[in-house]
Structure 1
């Protein structure tokens, strides 16, 4: 059984089950991966396409085939020496709807529920009318309107004997203590009356037997008839029915509310701003055990080999959680079947801010690779394109020159909107702290709110970890808070200085000793979703200087990175997290890895692109719609659209009008609607503007009108034709780097071919594995398949060659040293070179960057004039022996030829060569 070497991420759902994956195991093995990296497999909402909406931690999702199908998949994997990594979701569960028995029990019994402490619920919020109750903002209309219209209906479940109110897909249980009240004025048999009388005072633990007995009576003819008559009295259409139903609901442990109230008064922690996902308190040991019981059982039985922890920053104490998880998995290792690796891998999903590092004290193997995505993406961009593309964006966006400006504006908007309730709760906690001290009791909630908002607007990362101070570095938290407070101070009048100073102390590591633990936890649970919603889900869609720099884990304010910075990041990863994942495409990306690689070419052709956009804007002016007196799309949205069209335009040999297929137009329009709503400039998910959206949709229809006379299509096709070869080299280059740099490379499903996908659901479309299996066994090395580069098989062959190399030399990649190799001469800016060495085995990696200037041939991606004379590797002079190309089987060269880059002459500007640094003794 192999150790963790390389993964393939698979998205499981009803259309791609565990048995479907089992049928593809031989393909994955032949490709060279060691582990399937599975999306969440535990029971989720019916019809879930992603699995992050867990409703039951106790079983494998039956829609995926259940545990029997998982066992079949793992048996196939073990037969090929492979394993399985499982994505787990300890931060939140799906609520509302039906099927979550923990949540339903809380709604049924309130604070006395055995699961009340499982969820992060504030039972004593500032609104006293909500004390002891859970706000349920799931109604499609205001409560009174929903009640009046009969949208809330009382029902009885004959199977378990319970009563509940139904609102479309939502079920709201009625507390059993209220069941007797339902039958006021209705004659009941004495035994049934006794059951309901006992239920009125019964604690939750003793109610199950009574409910079973009541349910048995309810399934009789007499019981069903009597229950039906009782329920009829609560029908809003019956005389007094609506008022009776209202009084019943007012006695429950929850309050039903219109969905729009969630941003103002919700009293439980959500996942980001998603009201259908409720935060869990896994910091409690019994909650931790309940959430992970199935995961631990799967690991002990050898059905999984490691975990990927979703949204680690959503947990109250991530460091403590990771340590606890590692300890429990280690304790279970001796129980695993023979031949199965004993050491579990733990990878955490975390967005790292600029200059931020994953804390080593957590004990995780590393991140899931968003940081690598940023590092490799940055090094593929040409800094010389920053000025012309910035000027173009300023022209398009009427002055919004800086990503920082967009980010701060988005943060302020989110704090005032969808996260207003969370911000208000934190102010309430901080105000209570201030009023305890004579020196601060005059700090009003309003003043604290003004100061807190500015701190959060300037906060540079997802969160601090003050609640984890036994394991996390306090100095880093202090620096982050000091940085945010310094920026906030410049925005505030001097009179707010004392409040800001007090806030910095209370929210920092020292605040725990000052009794501010609850406020710190609330702050950390606010700053993380604020970053996600304001930065990734708003500013990334507003700021369009160059979209290849706007993706999960990236930092759009940084236009381009350096080769030295890339090497430094690899050296740090090898030292700190040698088993961290390396990703360039994920289920969360905004644009596919090869779409970004193609857009990166525009950093080399910024002035040409700016001229082209100007021509298109003039030519297409008459095609724009109108909304609220302005164009639809406006100039900023139009520029963003042109980039997406250039990034995703098909690379077939078909005529331009044939490429503009209905499928392509539908994909672009689906992306555009989501992008416009996420940007929240003219329209949004909560307040859509149909006129603006329709104008933009019509504009896309006109641009992509599939007619030979459509000049825009010919122009777009010509532009993409000029940049696509360089984009393909960028794509091959980032693939090569992902598969050879320190860490564990992750391949996202289907990305063996070119990945020109857009944000979900586009990046989760079905994968044609049959075609990929067929091409895997076809003849031809990377150079030969480069003559057919448009079909993507060259990328698949490169992946296969390098994964097989990792299979042949696992220790070289797991333990081997990393050393940058300098490139000298006129071609130095176009290559990234480094070595991986272990004992006398040496691997030399040479990857292209900034390939547009190399003029790759559209026929086969070869660069006839590269490397220019005088371009050499600044490498040791005593290299002995012969060096063999990994991706060009049969090609060898000596040390002298290697140093002068003869292996690249006139061909593809990339290679991976293996040799011996000294002769074996």
Structure 2
């Protein structure tokens, strides 16, 4: 297996192609990257900026450069000894445009399409209007309104000989069985002759080749005779006349799809979506023929040596993640002699293990990002910050309360159709037994609701229809929650649902006399008791996973604001801080179980850049100071508030009704965001710079308000309120307030800036030296003060970064830390060290090191050992009170705090460490060590102690080895 030494994630799209990346390969190699880690490379919706809306698995994206461009990139990588990891999206495809041939085929031929089982469509909907049809919730208003307005029309594509329903940019194919009636509507002999070719067609596969031949004849006819005849046909279905509009409506009713207002999707969609996005349709990759079709291209690229490994997107969306991983590894192993490198995107709850029976190399790193992020926080700040949040906003101090409310809201308003589908699967099981047939659909839906809203992790993974002990840890928690909220009368049904969802090994009760076997969900063969249970378990998991994602990451994390640095993908904001011992335990477990997992601190999906989170974590150390600042700023900016209709107001009482824009919660989160993302070199009097920042924050603010789904939302935007929030933001950042709020904001950022940088460097070094494969997100070699996408996907100035590469020790750039070169130098130097000693940091044992002395709680230290080779990592932490200027907020002279001055450095004065020392391994007693990050060469004394005043004299972090400094 080719295990990466380090990876760099790149987002490919038409604005950044394979050739664009190839131009920077020398830089990536000089930085120390061993493998590029590409966003999806298959063909996506036109103009896609991310690639996760694949429309064709069989072709490399032409917008990104096509297969030829990919080959040129790989050739350049190979010339520098580098490889490529590709992002694979087996869970869903884009269906919003007209580029997905598989999807269009099922719209044309319905359940007899060759691709009918490629997508997770419920062809047996309980709604008679949807049986055998696909709901298309694409209309901007109700169907009747759009039809009457003439925005839905019959069209003809002369190049393919196809009739289609046009709606804006959409083109929905008309079934060929209707072509005869369409052509005959013109009452012309030549068209009637063509119509005869379509007479008697059915949707059966045997008839589909004849339909293609008839279409060819129609296309040829139009090519030879022009389109006037077809135009006449189209006029007989024109939407602007009541008679012809009714004919158009009746034609639409005969199709294998039903057009609907987009708002209908949440309640009525009859196919699995990615989360609640009706532009992404779930793919049934568990079916062997679908698996082969989805992976044919990527397998060929892997076989031919263009791709070295895979990142699997949203593994929890699949029906059988374990079987998928097993099949994937087997096929990849057959294609090349070496074992494949595969990581999966998986959100793990605290204590939830990645399953051992998944033959993968680990996760994409959200678990590490959670651990290292929590490590930066002072646990003493948790309670006072929660109290301040509750007092200012009137909302709960506990994230769990917001999460529970969000789960109920998302389930009721966004995933109601998915809830119904899972409940129907349980109801079919109940109906097949005399002892349970009286459990009504409504009862089972109510029971299922309580189970999923209390489910603490993404999903379960039953084997042979039974939950494992690991599953039951979390399922039992959901059962306990459901019992507390369900009425006692529902408890019997709850116990049966528990058994059906894998809690019992007993056979299903015998079917009632005369019971008919029910058709399987997705148009498959009749479902027996075992398959019915497995189907219900799959639907439960494919409900609980998107519910967790939408309710936690995309709702509750935008409602709860104790400290936004803990509101991140893969994190639980109720888990405020992580002890050093627990961080070590996580590293030890990873080293033992998944030593090649990715280590990430920034991703294309993060809510806030890694350095935003590192700076905000400082607030946990100064909770009282920050609480007072919040109140002061709220009072200072009260005149800029708006009424809910967006109009200015002079003053607002401090009630807790959120009856003004932005409202107390949104305002408090806005201040945190401004503190977190304020660029280090931005001045309060820089009008252009402040305006640019305001525009970026406004983009975040709009998304945050809509994701919170309180006063406004994506489904029902309150544009007046949103405008009022934007006006508030630009009002408090207006140039005339440069001597008021702007001055206070920039001064506060300056006060905590050094501590934030110290956190950032700690986080960076831990990522680069902990067990696993360090992953770098594009551009984050310098300070990453980005916000949620699209802000974190802005173009990257790689040329600037390349120009700043150097062999100079990182410590030389500490005095100019605001420009970010010190971070780049640390990354370059440690990645060079990984290349210089690849086995040590790649395979070496992990040994937590004890720290003693007055400031022991402000240090984390560990060693990596392989044979006689050692690397010792030491980092300052929670160091606000140790920085030269004293406690944050204490006055210091301008000279002390001038850029480059000792008091301006993100470095603890050596004297402040006093007797604090790391207890070193006995092998290193009385040995001199060399620091990769500075010219320092601290010595371990005869008692085996390494004093921090020596080890951290030049940098707040150190990576110490015995054999000198590596070169890039």
Short-chain TM bin: over 0.9
Once the two structures are superposed, residues 84-134 of structure 1 have per-residue CA deviations (whole angstroms, 9 ceiling, x without a partner) of 000011000011321100000000000110000000000101212211111
Pair 203,246 (structure 1): closer, same or farther in 2 beyond 3 Å: same
Query: Cα offset for 1:221?
Result: 2.0
Is 1:887 matched with 2:925? no
Pair 193,627 (structure 1): closer, same or farther in 2 beyond 3 Å: closer
Query: Cα offset for 1:909?
Result: 2.5
Pair 73,188 (structure 1): closer, same or farther in 2 beyond 3 Å: farther
Equivalent pair of 2:858/2:878 in contact (CA under 8 Å): yes
Query: Cα offset for 1:438?
Result: 2.3
Equivalent pair of 1:656/1:717 in contact (CA under 8 Å): no
Pair 912,31 (structure 1): closer, same or farther in 2 beyond 3 Å: same
Counterparts of 1:878 and 1:245 in 2: how far apart (Å)? 85
Is 1:591 matched with 2:603? no
Equivalent pair of 1:854/1:866 in contact (CA under 8 Å): no
Is 1:788 matched with 2:791? no
Is 1:501 matched with 2:501? no
Of 795, 806, 819 in structure 1, the residue corresponding to residue 847 of structure 2 is 819
Unaligned runs of 5+ in 2: 509-528, 646-657, 885-901
Pair 680,870 (structure 1): closer, same or farther in 2 beyond 3 Å: same
Query: Cα offset for 1:243?
Result: 0.4
Counterparts of 1:902 and 1:812 in 2: how far apart (Å)? 26
Pair 116,787 (structure 1): closer, same or farther in 2 beyond 3 Å: same
Counterparts of 2:63 and 2:953 in 1: how far apart (Å)? 53
Counterparts of 2:369 and 2:922 in 1: how far apart (Å)? 34
Partner of 1:851: 879
Equivalent pair of 1:2/1:82 in contact (CA under 8 Å): no
Partner of 1:546: 563
Partner of 1:195: 197
In the TM superposition, 1:212-611 aligns within 5 A as 212-222=216-226, 224-238=227-241, 240-334=243-337, 342-466=338-462, 468-469=463-464, 474-508=468-502, 510=504, 514=508, 515=529, 516-611=533-628
Unaligned runs of 5+ in 1: 335-341
Partner of 1:874: 919
Counterparts of 1:511 and 1:755 in 2: how far apart (Å)? 51
Of 619, 624, 641 in structure 2, the residue corresponding to residue 624 of structure 1 is 641
Query: Cα offset for 1:329?
Result: 0.4
Deviates more, 1:699-708 or 1:452-461: 699-708
Query: What is the SS of the residue equivalent to 1:596?
Result: helix
Equivalent pair of 1:271/1:277 in contact (CA under 8 Å): yes
Counterparts of 1:191 and 1:304 in 2: how far apart (Å)? 53
Equivalent pair of 2:3/2:341 in contact (CA under 8 Å): no
Once the two structures are superposed, residues 446-478 of structure 1 have per-residue CA deviations (whole angstroms, 9 ceiling, x without a partner) of 222222211111100001112x449x9711122
Partner of 1:677: 706
Equivalent pair of 1:650/1:659 in contact (CA under 8 Å): no
Counterparts of 2:58 and 2:274 in 1: how far apart (Å)? 21
Query: Cα offset for 1:655?
Result: 4.2
Counterparts of 1:769 and 1:655 in 2: how far apart (Å)? 28
Counterparts of 1:891 and 1:878 in 2: how far apart (Å)? 17
Partner of 2:526: none
Counterparts of 1:643 and 1:272 in 2: how far apart (Å)? 29
Partner of 1:82: 82
Partner of 1:705: 734
Query: Cα offset for 1:658?
Result: 4.0
Equivalent pair of 1:165/1:174 in contact (CA under 8 Å): yes
Once the two structures are superposed, residues 848-897 of structure 1 have per-residue CA deviations (whole angstroms, 9 ceiling, x without a partner) of 21121221555332211555222111233452543111112463534558
Counterparts of 1:579 and 1:830 in 2: how far apart (Å)? 29
Query: Cα offset for 1:902?
Result: 4.1
Counterparts of 1:3 and 1:496 in 2: how far apart (Å)? 52
Equivalent pair of 1:152/1:166 in contact (CA under 8 Å): yes
Pair 731,890 (structure 1): closer, same or farther in 2 beyond 3 Å: closer
Is 1:860 matched with 2:905? yes
Counterparts of 2:87 and 2:952 in 1: how far apart (Å)? 44
Once the two structures are superposed, residues 494-514 of structure 1 have per-residue CA deviations (whole angstroms, 9 ceiling, x without a partner) of 222111111111112547964
Query: What is the SS of the residue equivalent to 1:362?
Result: coil
Pair 419,653 (structure 1): closer, same or farther in 2 beyond 3 Å: closer
Equivalent pair of 1:179/1:200 in contact (CA under 8 Å): no
Partner of 1:19: 19
Deviates more, 1:816-825 or 1:894-903: 894-903
Partner of 2:668: 639
Equivalent pair of 2:346/2:364 in contact (CA under 8 Å): yes
Counterparts of 2:756 and 2:22 in 1: how far apart (Å)? 34
TM-score by length of 2: 0.91
Of 762, 781, 789 in structure 2, the residue corresponding to residue 760 of structure 1 is 789
Partner of 1:121: 121
Counterparts of 2:743 and 2:103 in 1: how far apart (Å)? 56
Partner of 2:521: none
Query: Cα offset for 1:479?
Result: 2.4
Equivalent pair of 1:865/1:906 in contact (CA under 8 Å): yes
Counterparts of 1:816 and 1:512 in 2: how far apart (Å)? 47
Equivalent pair of 1:657/1:708 in contact (CA under 8 Å): no
Once the two structures are superposed, residues 347-379 of structure 1 have per-residue CA deviations (whole angstroms, 9 ceiling, x without a partner) of 100111121111011101000000000000111
Counterparts of 1:838 and 1:242 in 2: how far apart (Å)? 78
Partner of 1:338: none
Once the two structures are superposed, residues 755-813 of structure 1 have per-residue CA deviations (whole angstroms, 9 ceiling, x without a partner) of 00000000000001111011113x63211100110000000000000000111111112
Query: Cα offset for 1:212?
Result: 2.2
Deviates more, 1:317-326 or 1:474-483: 474-483
Once the two structures are superposed, residues 227-281 of structure 1 have per-residue CA deviations (whole angstroms, 9 ceiling, x without a partner) of 1111111111245111011111111111111111111111100000000000000
Counterparts of 1:369 and 1:877 in 2: how far apart (Å)? 33
Counterparts of 1:810 and 1:898 in 2: how far apart (Å)? 27
Equivalent pair of 1:329/1:344 in contact (CA under 8 Å): yes
Query: What is the SS of the residue equivalent to 2:327?
Result: helix
Query: What is the SS of the residue equivalent to 2:99?
Result: coil
Query: Cα offset for 1:219?
Result: 1.7
Pair 496,200 (structure 1): closer, same or farther in 2 beyond 3 Å: closer
Once the two structures are superposed, residues 730-752 of structure 1 have per-residue CA deviations (whole angstroms, 9 ceiling, x without a partner) of 00000000000000000000000
Equivalent pair of 1:195/1:214 in contact (CA under 8 Å): no
Pair 184,200 (structure 1): closer, same or farther in 2 beyond 3 Å: farther
Query: What is the SS of the residue equivalent to 1:287?
Result: helix
Counterparts of 2:682 and 2:426 in 1: how far apart (Å)? 63
Partner of 2:525: none
Of 812, 826, 842 in structure 1, the residue corresponding to residue 870 of structure 2 is 842
Once the two structures are superposed, residues 650-682 of structure 1 have per-residue CA deviations (whole angstroms, 9 ceiling, x without a partner) of 211634444752211100111000000000011
Query: What is the SS of the residue equivalent to 1:441?
Result: coil
Deviates more, 1:149-158 or 1:266-275: 149-158
Equivalent pair of 2:377/2:577 in contact (CA under 8 Å): yes
In the TM superposition, 1:654-673 aligns within 5 A as 654-658=683-687, 660-673=689-702
In the TM superposition, 1:169-188 aligns within 5 A as 169-185=169-185, 186-188=187-189
Pair 522,473 (structure 1): closer, same or farther in 2 beyond 3 Å: closer
Partner of 1:900: 947
Runs of 4+ with >6 A deviation: none
